[in-house]
A and B are shown apart, each in its own frame.
Chain A
Amino acid sequence: MKKAYDIIIVGGGIVGCSIAFEMAKRGHSNILLIERGYLSGGATGRCGAGIRQQWGSVLNATLAVESTHIFENLEEYTGYKGNCGLNQAGYLLIACTEKEWDQFQKNLEVQHQLGVDSYPVDLEKDVYKYVPFINTDGIYGATFCQKDGHADPFHCTFAYAYGARQLGVDILTYTEVLSLKAEGGKIKGVSTTKGDFEAPMVINCANAWAPGLAAQVGDEIPVFPERHQALVTEPVAPMGPNGPMPMVMSFHRKFYVQQSPHGSFIMGIAETEPVSFNIRSSWQFLEECCGVICDTLPALRGLRVVRQWAGLYDMSPDRNPIIEFSKNAEGLITICGFSGHGFMVAPRTAILVAKHLCNEQDDLDIKRFSADRYRTGELLLEPSVV
């Protein structure tokens, strides 16, 4: 195995793998990607894998819309022979207060500017066409977008990894990066459980562990880990109007639930969590999640839960990603802080990073994602996150 590369990427989730692919596609394939466990074994493989274009800020909606276009053809895009499992059953977003509903109207305007086919749904007549058994008590309004949906987070990551490998990227799994090596204000490489590797550029995509790594060269990335749990039920026949039930999501009640093409329901809620790397499952989640979701969707009451798990959100202060070019060690780039919506924006974020590194023009300004925004106050505010 080679000991020196042009670029080392730390982290084999969707972010690391997509950046490896996008760089290799642009002719920079002398890359080593290092993953502590197996590809997609961290937050990516544990996530709900929703793909939503119904965002409230232009920035997030743009990232999500352009990422969705890539997800729609990811197999062809990467040459992957498997099936990435994209299922565009739609997202039904429900508003539970008048204030939230007003916000949804503003969000729709933003979405329509970007060509997203989202629209309000009549609660009296039409909502049953999307979710036939929804309990509309306490629901103020709802919006729907058919092109939203979800994909298989494992296959999507494998697709990017496959494409990257075909173009010459080396991927090293079950290898932990122990430390970063920097000298004279420049990054020199990494030290791992399988020896040292040199590179003049290191891209740190280690999710909640990224700030710890960046701190080794003195970078302060204000991102902290937060446990989020999810569960999956036994599979049953499709419960949507033309197939699996669409994603139903509420910011106010803080839940999401979707039916996979396989028939099982995947659901989660946002709980108040301490800052911690804890990823154990709790019975409190099981009880609370099932309660909240069965209130809105009573038909799911009889389903058996077959599995529950947890993963880490990498929370940033404004709940949006940070792309930080190190000032202490030139050549180190830290990409983290996706705050629970990294999967759905990863394809476009990877293009943003790759275009910047290859000096290509991009409509989005990568500098907006710098952690400097917490000092200058130019936050990336998003009204619609769970």
Chain B
Amino acid sequence: MRIEEHPILDFDRGEKITFFYNGQEVEGYTNETIVAALHAAGVRKLGASPELHRPRGLFCAIGNCSSCFMTVDDEPNVRVCVVKCKQGMRVEEQNGRGVVRV
């Protein structure tokens, strides 16, 4: 779901692109954050907590907390609430701590 019209805000969504969420193709817009695209696609669970592996979702949505950490193009701990979508990027869920690719 996306808000199409708003009495105050304008939406300049940019270009429509596709990227991969856990290997699955998802649509997004270049001026939207990754999490906005995922949310619009119905994804609520973004990862799992490190100790008890409980579901983690969007929390602060402004890049302050660590709730939305995901692995983007092999880079762990990306705050997907403040990073914009790119064509073909691979966004993956993290089960606990992010893994640094060596």
Contact = CB atoms under 8 A, between A and B. Distances in A.
Interchain residue pairs A-B with the least CB separation, the first 6: A237-B97, A133-B102, A237-B99, A299-B102, A263-B97, A236-B98
Interface string A230-273: 00001111110000000000000000000000010000000000
A264 B97 CA distance: 10
B77 A299 contact: no
Interface in B54-89: 66, 75-77
Chain A interface bracket (under 10, 10 to 19, 20 to 34, 35 or more): 10 to 19
A237 B75 CA distance: 12
B50 A236 contact: no
Nearest to A132: B102
Interface of A: 132-133, 234-239, 263, 299-300, 302-304
Contacts of A133: 102
Nearest to A302: B75
B102 A237 contact: no
A234 B66 CA distance: 10
B3 interface: no
B77 A237 contact: no
A314 B98 CA distance: 38
A300 to B, nearest CB: 8
B100 to A, nearest CB: 5
Contact of B77 (A239, A300, A304): A304
B102 A302 contact: no
Nearest to B79: A304
Contacts of B100: 236-237, 239, 299-300, 302-303
Contacts of B66: 234
Contacts of A300: 100
A236 B77 contact: yes
A239 B75 contact: no
Contacts of B98: 236-237
A132 B75 CA distance: 18
